[in-house]
Structure 1
Amino acid sequence: MSDIKKVVLAYSGGLDTSVILKWLQETYDCEVITFTADLGQGEELEPARRKAELLGIKPENTFIEDLREDFVRDYVMPMFRANALYEGVYLLGTSIARPLIAKRQIEIAEQTGADAVAHGATGKGNDQVRFELSYYALDPDIRVIAPWREWDLTSRSKLIHFAEQHQIPIAKDKRGEAPFSVDANLLHISAEGKILEDPWEAPDEHVFSRSVAPEEAPDRPTFVEIDFERGDPVAVDGARLSPAALLTRLNELGGANGIGRVDMVEGRFVGMKSRGIYETPGGTIWQAAHRAIESITLDRGALHLKDELMPRYAELIYNGFWFSPEREMLQAAIDHSQAKVNGRVRLKLYKGGIQVVGRQSPDSLYSLEHVTFEDDAVYDQRDAEGFIKLNALRLRLLYRQRQG
C-alpha cells in the first residue's frame, strides 16, 4: 500500500474523519480527495468543505453532492417495495445509505485517477463490511484503507490529542466523552454506544431528535392519505411530490405524532450484538401504507411468497450485499410483483401509533360479491365441503396409521 498516490475519503467533516484525513496525509504521504454526500442528514455541509480546505485539500479535490433524490428513488424505494425489516424490527436506515456513498467514491476515484478509497468505519461494526463489499463489487482492483483497523488511535482521548497536535478544529461538545454515536440520513437517525450500551437502561428523551415523545404528541389524531403507483408512494394528501420531498413530508407527519421509535438489540454481521436506538418516522408510515395497499392488490400466493423472501432480502442489505447477484435477483421478483400495486391508503396517526382506516385501488382484488355475508350469486358454499375433505385426507390417513 506504500505506493498509493491518491485516495478518495468518505468525509463528514466531523472529528473522526478529519483526523483520518490528516492521518492519511502523514501515513501514506498521498493526495486526499474528500467526498461528502448530502443524504438528508439535516446538517450544513459547507463547514465540511471549509474544514477540508483548512487541512490542505485543494478546492478541486473537495466533492460535496446533494444525493437526496438519488438516495430515496434508487435505494430506499426499491427496499420498501420488499417491506424489508431486519430481525423483524429494523428498517435498515444506515445499511441502505452505504452502497450509494461507496458507489460515488468509486466513480470519483475513476474520474480523478485515484488508486484507493478510504472510510471511517470502525473494525467492530457493520459499516466497514458494507463499504468494502460495495467497493470491490464496483471495482475489484481498488485498494481500500480502513484507518480504524490500522492506527493506534483507539480512544476518543487519543483522537482529540491527535487533533490538538495538528490544529484540527474540534467542536466543543466533542472535548468530553460523547454520550452516544449518531448516524443520520433522510430515512432515519440512529444512536448507539456509551450511555446506550446497557440494554436494561431506557434511553433518555434527549436521545431522540426526530420525533416527539408519544405521550407528548397531539391529543387529536392526524389523518393522511398516500397514493401509490407500481408499489412506490407518489403523493401525500393529493399532492404529488418527488421521492425526497415525499419522505420529508412523511417524516414531518410521523415526527409530530411520535411515530417510528425503535429500541433494539441486533445481531451484527461481524458476530456481536449491539443495542441501537432508531427513529424512522416517515419510513414507518410508508411501510404501513405499502402493506395496506398490497393487501388489496396482491394475490395471496404472491404476497405470502414476498413475505418469505423478505428476511433474506433484508439480511443481504444489512450485511452489505446490495450489489450482489442474489439481491438483484430478489429485486427483480419483488419489482415484478408491484406492477398492479396502485391506489390510495388512508391512515390515522395518533400518539406513536398507526392505524390503517381505508384503502382503495383500481386494481383491487377485493370482491364484495364473494366476501359478503348477505345473499350472493357467485359463491356456492357447498363447494367448501369437498375442499375441506381433500385437505383433511392426509390428516385422516395419518391418524389411522398412528392408531394402527
Structure 2
Amino acid sequence: MQSKKLVLGFSGGLDTTYCAIYLSQEKGFEVHSVIVNTGGFTEDELVHIEKHAYALGVKTHTTINAVKSYYDSIVKYLIYGNVLKNNTYPLSVSAERLSQAMHIAEHAKKMNAIAVAHGSTGAGNDQVRFDMIFNIMIPGIEIITPIRDLQLSREAEIEYLKAKGVQMNFEKAAYSINKGLWGTSVGGKETLYSKGLLPETAWPTQVTKTGEEEIKIHFEKGAITWVNNQHFTHPSHAIQYIQSLAAPYGIGRDIHVGDTIIGIKGRVGFEAAAPMVIIKAHHALEKHVLTKWQLNWKDQLAQFYGNWLHEGQMMDPVMRNIEAFLEDTQEHVTGSVYVQLLPYRFQIIGIESEYDLMSSKFGKYGEMNNGWTGNDVRGFSKIFGNQTAIYHNIKNASND
C-alpha cells in the first residue's frame, strides 16, 4: 500500500496546528512538518515550535534556515531595484512567502510526498503564492488547504483542537504580527478600515532611543559589506544589524494600502527600519554613480519586478531577465553612504565613492564648468531643440 506521506508548511500557529491534527487523525496522512525560517524566529522559538509539532503527532519535523538564501534569491534584487510597492512598502511578507513556498516544495520532492499542505485561508494573497509555486515546482502533487477548503472560523478551529486535547495558547493577540528579515507586518482592527493609525503599543519594537546617531553604510557592487566599522561576510547579517540600530528610533513604520492578488484593496501596517534605510541609502549612492538612462530603466523594470513578485510570479522567466539587468547595473555601485538616524525619521547626509559622477573635476552645477564653453551651449541648445522648433514653425504656418 502506498504511503500517504504529506509535507505540511508549519508555523506552530492556530491554523497549521489544526492542519497537523486534522490531516493525520481525520485524513490518515503521514504528516511531515517543515518550518522555513526567513529571519522571523529566534532559536528558542524554533525549538518550541519543533516540540509543539511532535506533540501533535507529526512523523518528522524539519527546520530550514533560509535567511541567506532568501537574501540571495530575492532580497538583494529588491535592494538593487530600490523596490517599494506603491512608493511605500518594501514587500516584506510577500517576498518571504515565496522563499518559504519554494523551500517547502523542495522538501516535498526530497520526501517523495504525495501531497503538500499549507494553512492559508481563502481571504488573502498567501493562498495564491503558495499554490502557484507548488503547481509549478511540484506538479502532480496534491495541494491540501483545510482552513480554506472547510471555510473554518477561528472559533471552530479552537473548539476542534480543545476536543482533541491540544495544549496551546488559544488567546488571539490584539495584533497579527509577521516578522522576517525584510520587515515585519502588523495587522489589527485599525487596518481593517480606510482610516485609523496603529497605537504605539502595537509596534513590535518600542521607541527607546532619543537624540541622533550617524551611521555609515558601505556598499560593494550594490551589496552591504560594512556598517560603521563592522564588517559583514554576508549582507543578511548587515540587514539585521542595521535593524537593531534604527528600529529603536521608530524608523520605518508606516501603513501600506495596495491591491491584493484576489482583486480587493488591503491595508496593513509594517515596521521595516532596515529595509527603508537601506533602500534610500542605496538609491542615494546610485543617483551619484549611475547615468540618467540607467536610473530611468532601472525604475521602470524594478517597478514591474516588485509588482510581479508581489503577485507570486517569482518563477516567471522574465524575472531572471530583469535580475540579470539589475545585477549588471551594480558594477559601479560601490561607496559609502552616511545616514543620520533620529526619532521616527532618518535622512541621507551624503555619499563618498570613487565612481561619483558628480566629481568636481568636471565642474560644479550652477557655478562653473570645465568641460564646455558658453558658445558650445548656445550651439547645443539650438540643435537639441531643433525638431521641436520645426514642429512649431510648421504648426504656426498652417494656422496663418
Which TM-score applies when normalising by structure 1? 0.91
2:221 pairs with one of 230, 234, 249: 230
Q: Give the partner amino acid of 1:389.
A: K
Sort the Cα spacing of 1:300 and 1:113 in 2 relative to 1 into closer, same or farther, 3 A. same
Structure 2: distance between partners of 1:195 and 1:157: 22
- The 5 Å alignment of 1:105-254 reads 105-153=104-152, 155-174=153-172, 178-212=173-207, 217-218=209-210, 220-241=211-232, 242-254=234-246
Q: Which residue of 2 aligns with 1:257?
A: 249
Q: Which residue of 2 aligns with 1:352?
A: 344
Please list every run of 5 or more consecutive structure 1 residues that lacks an aligned counterpart in the other structure. Answer: none
Paired residues of 1:263 and 1:277 also in contact (CA < 8 A) = yes
Q: Establish whether residue 324 from structure 1 lines up as the match of residue 316 from structure 2.
A: yes
Contact kept in structure 2, 1:369 and 1:378, CA below 8 Å: no
* Deviation digits for residues 301-339 of structure 1 (CA, Å, limit 9, x no counterpart): 111110111210111110011121011111111111111
Aligned residue pairs, count:
392
Kindly indicate whether residue 302 of structure 2 is the aligned counterpart of residue 301 of structure 1: no
In structure 2, the CA distance between the partners of 1:398 and 1:171, relative to structure 1 (3 Å rule), is: same
Q: Which residue number corresponds to residue 383 of structure 1? A: 376
Q: Which amino acid aligns with 1:228?
A: F
Could you tell me how far 1:117 is from its partner in structure 2?
Answer: 1.3
Q: Distance in 1 between matches of 2:3 and 2:193?
A: 41
**Residue-by-residue CA offset, 1:220-263 (whole Å, 9 max, x unaligned):** 21100011111111110031113232111110111122210111
Q: Within 2, Cα distance between the matches of 1:314 and 1:73?
A: 16
What whole-Å deviation, never above 9, does each CA across 1:92-119 have from its counterpart, x for those lacking one? 0111112221122122112211122111
Distance 1:97 1:39 in 2: 6
**Contact preservation (8 Å) 1:210, 1:281:** no
Distance, in Å, in 1 between the alignment partners of 2:4 and 2:159 is 27
CA 70–210 in structure 1, closer or farther in 2 if over 3 Å, else same: farther
Distance verdict in 2 for CA 1:296–1:211, change over 3 Å:
farther
Task: Map 1:47-86 to 2 at 5 A.
Answer: 47-58=48-59, 61-86=60-85
Q: Is the 8 A contact 2:36 2:104 kept in 1?
A: no
Asked whether the 8 Å contact 1:225–1:237 carries over to 2, the reply is yes
For 1:176-215, what per-residue CA distance to the aligned partner results, in whole angstroms no more than 9, with x for missing partners?
xx42322111221112254431221221112101352xxx
SS at match of 1:45: helix
* Amino acid corresponding to residue 171 of structure 1 in structure 2: N
Question: Offset of 1:284 from its aligned partner?
Answer: 0.7
d(CA) in 2 for partners of 1:376, 1:275 = 49
Contact 1:180 1:196 (C-alpha < 8 Å) held by counterparts: no
Instruction: Give the CA deviation at 1:19.
Output: 0.6
- Cα distance in 2 for partners of 1:56, 1:299 equals 59
Counterpart code for 2:227? V
**In 2, Cα distance between equivalents of 1:318 and 1:135:** 16
Cα distance change of structure 1 residues 281 and 168 upon mapping to structure 2, 3 Å threshold: same
Letter in 2 for 1:68: V
Equivalent in the alignment of 1:103? 102
Q: In structure 1, how many angstroms separate the alpha carbons of the residues matched to 2:390 and 2:368?
A: 36
Whole-Å Cα distance in 2 between the matches of residues 48 and 211 of structure 1? 25
SS of the equivalent of 1:51 reads: helix
Q: Which amino acid in 2 is paired with 1:229?
A: E
Aligned to 1:397: 390
Tell me, in whole angstroms, the C-alpha distance in 2 between the residues paired with 1:300 and 1:122.
Answer: 45
Greater CA drift, 62-71 or 263-272: 62-71
Give the Cα separation in 2 of the matches to 1:390 and 1:378: 18
* Structure 2: distance between partners of 1:30 and 1:251: 41
Cα deviation, residue 402, structure 1 = 4.1
Greater CA drift, 184-193 or 3-12: 3-12
> Match for 2:163: what amino acid?
Q
User: Does 388-397 or 45-54 show the bigger shift?
Assistant: 388-397
Letter in 2 for 1:179: A
User: Which amino acid is the alignment partner of residue 260 of structure 2?
Assistant: R
- Unaligned runs of at least 5 residues, structure 2: none
**RMSD in angstroms over aligned alpha carbons?**
1.9
Letter in 1 for 2:64: E
How far, CA to CA, are the matches of 2:144 and 2:136 in structure 1?
16
Aligned equivalents of 1:383 and 1:238: distance in 2?
46
Deviation of residue 30 (structure 1)? 0.9
Distance 1:180 1:257 in 2: 21
- 1 CA distance for matches of 2:75 and 2:189? 29
Amino acid at match of 1:199: S
Report the identity percentage: 27
Name the SS of the counterpart of 1:338 in structure 2: helix
Residues 73, 243 of structure 1: 8 Å contact kept: no
